Structure 1
Amino acid sequence: FTVSGSTPSAVLRSILRNGAGGQSGVAMATTQANISQTVKPRGKSGCRYSSKAEITTRLPRLSKASRKHKAVRAVWRSFDKYIRAHEARHKSIYLSCARKIDKKARAHLRRKGCKNAKIEVTIIMLEERLRCNRLNRMFDKRERKRIARLPLIKQATRQAGGAVVFGSHSKKTSKRLAPNKN
């Protein structure tokens, strides 16, 4: 999403006004994962398993008009660098979770076969998604002080004295995990 402003505080207001709604409401950027899986019968006793992780990251993008303001450009560079790295970490967490879901589901299918596979694999996915969401929340919590020290945030909130929560341009990344042929 595009943000604008001629001062750091105007840019921050634009981010918060136009930002993505994260888990905590307003966010400066977001990374979300849609992890799906398919279990289909194959033959008399076999089944086919496949999974897919689609990661969507929404980042703020400074408008061309705002880039003309030296004060904004100076603080934007560090903010942009930080926010990209921060969201890349969320993506990494989600991909790690997707691999773990895939590994556990395949192990289950090897041990138990296809009987009740769809239900069991769904339970595995739901449990791992909860764990993954917890990891992302913990990461965000650890990063709060670091965010507050960013020049854009410091300058924008200097007089307001308010707390800032994290918000977001869209970029989708899909990763198909290899199908399993049990």
Structure 2
Amino acid sequence: MMNVNVLRLDHRIGRDTRITTHVCLTSRAFGASKIYLSGEEDHKLMENVRDTADRWGGNFEIEYAKNYMGVINKWKDNGGKVVHLTMYGSQAHEIVSEVQESGADILIVVGGAKVPGKVYKSADWNVSVTTQPHSEVSSLAVFQHLLMEGKEFDLEFENPVFEVIPTAHGKNVNIHDENR
């Protein structure tokens, strides 16, 4: 099974905290094992994401990366492939099977304010989730869903403190005291 990591470009404390947090949570919920944050180093955001992962289970990691091109280059040097999500790329639903068939570990790059041309050039695939402006969170969720072929619905997160039990009405949360 391929390993999926995410690289969030150009995080800005204050301005991007909520959206970057949602990028992190989406990455984790849809099967990524790690996210790298570039831009401004945000210890509070990173601690909040770690706390969420601890409470809801799994082995999700978050790491600050001062040099995002270093992350991309190292990923590629280790045989991984890079998918850059952009509204200017090939359509996700048309390219996802090629990404899957590569058999490589995947680094999904999610942009920030303005993505430099070198990111487009270094990506193995520039991938569009629609050709219209919208949220990087929705792009990430849709692409990870396609990449996982819907298997994210069956993911199990090890040692959760909280676990939602699906129900048509109300809230049903199982609390695992032994994991506290």
TM-score, structure 1 length as denominator? Answer: 0.24
| Larger helix share, 1 or 2 | 1
Asked which structure has the greater RCO (Cα within 8 Å, sep 6+), the reply is 1
